[in-house]
């Protein structure tokens, strides 16, 4: 059976785009998440956890998980880890890691 041809999500960082600019914290915008969900029904993708969260809540667990995963990325990409303006570092800052 032939595979369904997927439409790629446009990776734009312009105003109103799907991704945030590095200076504003990197990561996907709410519009980008909505576009991804539309292209991939059943997806559970969410935006970043940026506010204060109750200890032990679902959002607190998502943050802890993201911070652990991105810490591993910092080890794999030392150039990005040392650059304070890298997308990785800015996203971690936005997630409050």
List per-residue pLDDT tens for the chain, 97 residues long. 566 666 665 666 666 678 888 877 788 888 989 999 999 999 999 989 988 999 999 999 999 999 999 999 999 999 999 999 999 999 999 999 9
Which pLDDT score is estimated for 2? 64
Q: Is the pTM of this model over 0.85?
A: no
CA distance 71 to 94: 14
What pLDDT sits at residue 1?
A: 56
Both tokens of 74, joined, read 């910092």
Element (H, E) at 63: helix 58-76
């Amino acid at each position: 059976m032939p595979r369904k041809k997927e439409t790629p999500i446009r990776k734009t960082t312009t105003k109103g785009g799907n991704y945030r600019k590095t200076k504003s914290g990197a990561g996907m915008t709410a519009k980008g998440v909505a576009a991804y969900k539309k292209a991939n029904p059943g997806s559970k993708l969410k935006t970043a956890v940026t506010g204060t969260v109750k200890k032990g809540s679902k959002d607190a667990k998502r943050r802890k998980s993201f911070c652990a995963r991105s810490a591993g990325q910092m080890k794999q990409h030392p150039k990005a880890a040392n650059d304070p303006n890298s997308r990785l570092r800015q996203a971690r800052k936005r997630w409050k890691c």
